[in-house]
């Protein structure tokens, strides 16, 4: 039997390659798909005799062009994107030299590896389902490249291969579940940096006029939260991310200089370290767990103030919580918040200095206004009330489309000229007025509110929930949250952004088919999101702690011996189950059509008085039958010749050959 790949086998291989490479095109250069189609198309032309096999010079030139394209794509080396693109190039170009079945099998095995590789880009339920489809197609291709010329039609071959592939993968499912549940959850032994060009989503580490309102026009999911007890009121759902202390006249920033994530970790561990003694726990605890989407940034948004946190995270003196590296995959956090806790009743001097800093010049009208209001009030609380009253009594408006304020004196331009802004405008100007009067204050950015999912009993926080507010330090009370946006648009914190900008109709204005705009579509969207949350929580979020809790519930007292016995018992049960299933359901192999026709041919000759003995070769029996039945001699010899041709020298014309056998058999009967 020939070991060369057939034309049909090459079609299977091309289909498998296309299915595997498609999901990578969302993250990697899209020109990889034309490269694959070109390589596979050339191979198909070679198999059909329309083109010559590419030589070594041609292969070298094509590989050089592919590597050149990789270098021109702007991918950073080393990075996951660069390594994945290089592997996909090899996966595509391998089609040029697929001659024998072993070459095709190598390509298919690379495809299996690429299916696993794609989970580094997405761990969503959709990606998992697509991965399962890819596995079925690859396994079907593995069956297809092993097949010689078949009696089945093309449609029958496709159904047979796919059915066999599904059955083979289903046999692996119980074993896969056991390994997933019981295999130790080790940290990766090595890591490859992700490309710095990958999009960073969500709130940035600085805030200028116009930044947050751009983010608030997106309906993308930021994170989901499930509460262990009673859900807090909507107006109390402030999810703190970053504290911005430095103002340069145009934008608010975390620190005076830029830090990358590693320098920021060092700063938090040295100068801005979390001090548990700085918070006085009081009031009712709010335990919750949050699952954050991949954002390319390390910020974790927690219910302010979060006092207790489980997991390997970083915490700062400003009550922020950070992951130890950028989020390139969903991240599970378990925490406890105390909304009534008192923070920093004694304010450290370095925090006071940060909370009072202003540029030496600029925004003169705002500075003058602060001095005037302070003279009229004389104490911090009265001054705060006076500033908030100014926002509510004058012609200030809350809008997603504020006018531009320029690069200088932006506080003056907002407070005295435009008076139209988003939360960032109100929070930034409020903190400026506080500091100008000598009251420690800072800008906090994060999210406010969220959409409650009744089906899943969790809160979904989207990018349009992005928000900025202020914190002021008051003697005897510590840090106090003040949201100046509520003085202008109280519906923002009570009912969400959609209600706050309903009059101007700008909520998700660019998202024509957003589920939030279509009632029945929103219901379906919530149901689907519930399924996705379950996947994130119980599959992607299955870590060491979850595994330890599950094993403790199953075994009572945890021990390696008990786990080993349980796993060995499950393996034995799976093996016994499949032995029984295969033994009870396995059918005898189906008799090939040509053999069935030959058996009927022999039975027809027996009716004419010529009996074939067991073990007699078809050619020997044909010579004997032709001698005994001279009237049928030509038919007997032709039938035997066609039959032996199908058995020992199959060709692409197998279906015509079996039809010829049927016609000759009719003449014998």
Element holding 206 (H helix, E strand)? strand 206-207
Q: Which residues contact 649 (CB under 8 A, 6 or more apart)?
A: none
DSSP 557: S
pLDDT higher than threshold 70 for residue 667: yes
Q: What is the pLDDT of residue 487?
A: 93
CB 322 within 8 A of CB 298: yes
Q: What is the pLDDT of residues 203-235, one digit of tens each?
A: 888 888 777 877 777 888 999 999 998 999 999
Reported pTM: 0.75
> Nearest Cα to 646, choosing from 635, 629, 661?
661
Q: Average the pLDDT over each of 122-131, 185-194, 377-386 and give the range with the smallest value.
A: 185-194
78 preceded by cis ω (within 30°)? yes
The rounded distance, in Å, linking the Cα atoms of 436 and 369 is 9
Question: Predicted confidence band at 50 (pLDDT cuts at 50, 70, 90)?
Answer: confident
Question: Predicted confidence band at 247 (pLDDT cuts at 50, 70, 90)?
Answer: very high
Q: What is the pLDDT of residues 365-402, one digit of tens each?
A: 999 999 999 999 989 999 999 999 999 999 899 988 88
Instruction: Compute φ and ψ for 185, nearest 5 degrees.
Output: -90, 85
Q: What is the pLDDT of residue 190?
A: 54
CB atoms within 10 A of CB 471: 27
Question: Predicted confidence band at 340 (pLDDT cuts at 50, 70, 90)?
Answer: very high
Selected catalytic residue, list 27, 81, 363, 423: 423
The rounded distance, in Å, linking the Cα atoms of 225 and 292 is 9
Residue corresponding to tokens 């030959």: 598
Residues 342-368, mean pLDDT to the nearest whole number: 92
Token pair belonging to 152: 């089945």
CB 82 within 8 A of CB 76: yes
Compare 6 and 482 and report the one with higher pLDDT. Answer: 482
CA distances from 120 to 192, 568, 570, 617, 619 (A): 11, 31, 30, 59, 61
What's the mean per-residue pLDDT of the chain?
A: 85
Element holding 651 (H helix, E strand)? none
What phi-psi label fits residue 192: left (phi over 0), alpha (psi between -120 and 50 degrees) or beta? beta
Question: Predicted confidence band at 200 (pLDDT cuts at 50, 70, 90)?
Answer: low
For residue 252, list its beta bridge partners.
207, 247
Active site residue 4: no
CB 551 within 8 A of CB 178: no
∠ CA 485-486-491, rounded to 5°: 115
Active site residue 423: yes
CB 411 within 8 A of CB 429: yes
Q: What is the pLDDT of residue 194?
A: 53
Q: What is the pLDDT of residue 196?
A: 42
Q: What is the pLDDT of residue 480?
A: 96
Token pair belonging to 113: 């590896």
Share of the chain above pLDDT 90, in %: 32
Selected catalytic residue, list 318, 462, 467, 529: 467
Of the chain, the end-to-end C-alpha distance in Å amounts to: 33
3-state secondary structure 125-190: HHHHHHHHHHHHHHHHHHHHCCCCCCCCCHHHHHHHHHHHHHHHHHHHHHHHHHHHHHCCCCCCCC
Q: What is the pLDDT of residues 604-662, one digit of tens each?
A: 999 888 998 878 888 899 999 999 898 889 988 999 998 888 887 776 566 788 888 88
Beta strands in 233-386 (DSSP E): 238-244, 246-247, 252-253, 279-280, 286-292, 299-300, 302-303, 306-310, 313-315, 321-323, 331-337, 342-343
Q: What is the pLDDT of residue 445?
A: 95
Compare 585 and 280 and report the one with higher pLDDT. Answer: 280
Token pair belonging to 258: 């830029």
Token pair belonging to 367: 């500075």
Q: What is the pLDDT of residue 511?
A: 60
Q: What is the pLDDT of residue 115?
A: 94
Percentage helix, strand, coil for the chain under 3-state DSSP, each rounded to 5: 55, 15, 35
Instruction: Compute φ and ψ for 282, nearest 5 degrees.
Output: -155, 160
DSSP per-residue letters across 593-638: HHHHHHHHHHHHHHHTT-PPPTT--HHHHHHHHHHH-GGGHHHHHH
Q: What is the pLDDT of residues 396-435, one digit of tens each?
A: 999 888 888 888 899 999 999 999 999 999 999 999 999 9
pLDDT higher than threshold 90 for residue 458: yes
Question: Predicted confidence band at 151 (pLDDT cuts at 50, 70, 90)?
Answer: very low
Residues 562-566, mean pLDDT to the nearest whole number: 84
CA distances from 115 to 19, 55, 131, 579 (A): 10, 30, 6, 29
Residues 111-137, mean pLDDT to the nearest whole number: 91
pLDDT higher than threshold 50 for residue 1: no
Q: What is the pLDDT of residue 152?
A: 46
> Nearest Cα to 305, choosing from 366, 357, 232?
232
The rounded distance, in Å, linking the Cα atoms of 245 and 493 is 24
Q: What is the pLDDT of residue 587?
A: 63
DSSP per-residue letters across 218-259: ---EEEEEEESSPPPPGGG-EEEEEEE-EE-SS-EESSSS--
∠ CA 258-261-266, rounded to 5°: 90
CB atoms within 10 A of CB 463: 21
Compare 151 and 509 and report the one with higher pLDDT. Answer: 509
Q: What is the pLDDT of residue 156?
A: 60
The rounded distance, in Å, linking the Cα atoms of 329 and 408 is 39
**Total residues found in the chain within this entry:** 669
pLDDT higher than threshold 90 for residue 342: yes
CB atoms within 10 A of CB 125: 17
Selected catalytic residue, list 205, 465, 483, 529: 483
The rounded distance, in Å, linking the Cα atoms of 102 and 97 is 11
Token pair belonging to 198: 């990958």
The rounded distance, in Å, linking the Cα atoms of 260 and 92 is 37
Active site residue 246: no
Residues 59-73, mean pLDDT to the nearest whole number: 82
CA 390 to chain CA centroid, nearest Å: 46
Q: What is the pLDDT of residue 488?
A: 93
């Amino acid at each position: 039997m020939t070991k060369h790949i057939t034309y049909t086998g090459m079609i299977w291989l091309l289909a498998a390659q296309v299915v595997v490479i498609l999901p990578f095109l969302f993250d990697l250069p899209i020109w990889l798909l034309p490269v694959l189609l070109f390589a596979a198309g050339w191979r198909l032309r070679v198999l059909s005799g329309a083109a010559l096999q590419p030589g070594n010079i041609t292969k070298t030139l094509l590989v050089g062009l592919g590597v050149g394209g990789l270098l021109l794509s702007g991918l950073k080396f080393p990075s996951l994107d660069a390594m994945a693109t290089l592997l996909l190039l090899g996966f595509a170009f391998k089609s040029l030299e697929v001659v024998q079945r072993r070459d095709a099998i190598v390509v298919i095995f690379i495809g299996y590896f690429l299916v696993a590789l794609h989970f580094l880009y997405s761990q969503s339920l959709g990606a998992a389902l697509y991965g399962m489809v890819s596995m079925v197609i690859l396994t079907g291709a593995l069956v297809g490249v092993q097949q010689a010329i078949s009696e089945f039609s093309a449609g029958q071959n496709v159904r047979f291969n796919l059915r066999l592939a599904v059955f083979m993968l289903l046999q692996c499912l119980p074993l896969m579940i056991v390994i997933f549940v019981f295999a130790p959850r080790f940290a990766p032994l090595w890591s490859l940096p992700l490309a710095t060009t990958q999009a960073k989503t969500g709130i940035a580490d600085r805030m200028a006029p116009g930044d947050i309102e751009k983010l608030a026009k997106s309906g993308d999911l930021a994170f989901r939260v499930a509460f262990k007890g009673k859900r807090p009121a909507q107006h109390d759902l402030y999810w703190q991310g970053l504290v911005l202390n430095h103002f340069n006249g145009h934008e608010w920033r975390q620190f005076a200089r830029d830090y990358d994530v590693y320098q920021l970790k060092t700063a938090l561990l040295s100068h801005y370290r979390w001090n548990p003694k700085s918070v006085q726990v009081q009031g009712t605890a709010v335990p919750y767990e949050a699952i954050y989407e991949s954002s390319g940034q390390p910020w974790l948004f927690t219910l302010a103030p979060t006092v207790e946190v489980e997991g390997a995270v970083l915490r700062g003196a400003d009550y922020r919580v950070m992951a130890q590296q950028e989020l390139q995959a969903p991240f599970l956090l378990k925490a406890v918040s105390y909304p009534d806790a008192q923070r920093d009743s004694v304010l450290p001097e370095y925090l006071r200095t940060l909370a009072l800093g202003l540029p030496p010049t600029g925004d003169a009208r705002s500075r003058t206004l602060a001095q005037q209001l302070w003279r009229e009030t004389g104490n911090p609380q009265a001054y705060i009330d006076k500033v908030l009253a100014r926002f509510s009594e004058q012609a200030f408006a809350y809008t997603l489309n504020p006018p531009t304020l320029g690069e200088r004196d932006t506080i003056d331009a907002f407070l005295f000229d435009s008076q139209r802004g988003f939360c960032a405008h109100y929070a930034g100007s409020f903190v400026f007025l506080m500091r100008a009067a000598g009251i420690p204050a800072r800008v906090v950015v994060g999210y406010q509110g969220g959409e409650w999912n009744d089906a899943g009993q969790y809160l979904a926080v989207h990018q349009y929930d992005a928000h900025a507010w202020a914190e002021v330090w008051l003697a005897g009370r510590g840090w106090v949250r003040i949201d100046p946006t509520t003085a202008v648009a109280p519906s923002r914190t009570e009912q969400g952004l959609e209600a706050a900008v309903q009059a101007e109709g700008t909520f998700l204005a660019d998202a024509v088919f957003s589920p939030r705009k279509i009632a029945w579509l929103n219901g379906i969207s919530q149901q689907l999101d519930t399924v996705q949350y379950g996947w994130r929580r119980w599959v992607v979020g299955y870590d060491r702690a979850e595994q330890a809790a599950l094993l403790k519930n199953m075994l009572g007292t945890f021990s390696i011996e008990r786990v080993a016995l349980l796993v060995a018992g499950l393996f034995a049960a799976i093996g016994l189950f499949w032995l029984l299933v295969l033994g009870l359901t396995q059918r005898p192999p189906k008799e090939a059509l040509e053999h069935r026709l030959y058996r009927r041919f022999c039975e027809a000759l027996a009716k004419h008085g010529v009996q074939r003995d067991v073990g007699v070769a078809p050619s020997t029996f044909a010579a004997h039958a032709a001698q005994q039945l001279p009237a049928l001699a030509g038919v007997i010899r032709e039938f035997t010749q066609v039959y032996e041709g199908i058995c020992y020298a199959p060709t692409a014309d197998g279906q015509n050959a079996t039809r010829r056998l049927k016609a000759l058999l009719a003449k014998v009967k």
